[in-house]
Amino acid sequence: MTKLRKNYVSIKPSVDARLAEFSALWEQGSDIEIFRELCFCVCTPQTNAHRGWSGVCALFEKNLLVQGTVADVADTLREQGVRFHNHKARYILQNRSDFYPDTKKRIREILAMYDPQSLLCDQVPGWGMKEAAHFMRNIGFGNYACILDRHILRQLVRYHVISEIPKTLSKTIYREIDAKMKVFAENCKIPLAALDLVFWYEETGEIFK
């Protein structure tokens, strides 16, 4: 834990800057920018985060998030190295129908409800609990839910928060680990949203999204 705190202190300015960017996105971002973030979290399962971001940015630049067909979206995602591009293209179009153009209004309504992470998981095609938490963090609500991807789970084992990485992550198991990580963050005196970025830094040597 001492090393973790030391790492946090050393990168805190960069972490704070990135978290400020996430908050600014929600406060100042347009519907299409929030929708792009939603689609990024559709693209990340089983795909490198950088490739997922490249894919959704390519869609954004080509205006395919708003007007693209399933085939157009799938082709662009494939070109950017996004795995399962056909399934994810269909999810993106389903989400366009459900969440665009009134993206912020729809998301704001969900965030105001009890257990928004679970609601987002249920209502956004292509998402599980991890993707819902990732989205919440990336729009400035990262202190409410943990992003339990493989990088974070490995770190939680390393710091003895959990004994092993579970073979499956049901909602029940996810919530149990989420609660343990929140206690660990409090004990470390590191904000939950920041802890995810510190863990990511320890795993990859960078601060991304």
Average pLDDT over residues 161-188: 96
Is residue 63 very low, low, confident or very high in pLDDT (cuts 50, 70, 90)?
very high
Q: What pLDDT sits at residue 60?
A: 98
Query: Which pLDDT score, from 0 to 100, does residue 46 have?
Result: 93
**pLDDT given for residue 3 in this prediction:** 86
CA distances in angstroms from 6 to 1, 44, 67, 71, 128, listed in the order given: 9, 29, 47, 48, 32
Name the catalytic one among 12, 88, 104, 149: 149
The pLDDT assigned to 2 comes to: 82
Cα–Cα dist 178/182, whole Å: 6
CB 34 within 8 A of CB 27: no
Helices (H) and strands (E) in the chain, counts: 12, 0
pLDDT surpasses 80 at 1? no
Reply yes or no on whether 75 is catalytic: no
Catalytic residue flag (residue 149):
yes
**Catalytic one among 130, 167, 171, 182?**
130
Residue 155 gets the label, from left (phi > 0), alpha (psi -120 to 50) or beta, of: alpha
Mean predicted confidence (pLDDT) in 77-95: 98
Name the average pLDDT for the chain: 96
- Domain annotation for the chain: domains and CATH numbers: 2-24+146-204 (1.10.1670.10), 27-138 (1.10.340.30)
State in Å, rounded, how far the first CA of the chain is from the last one.
23
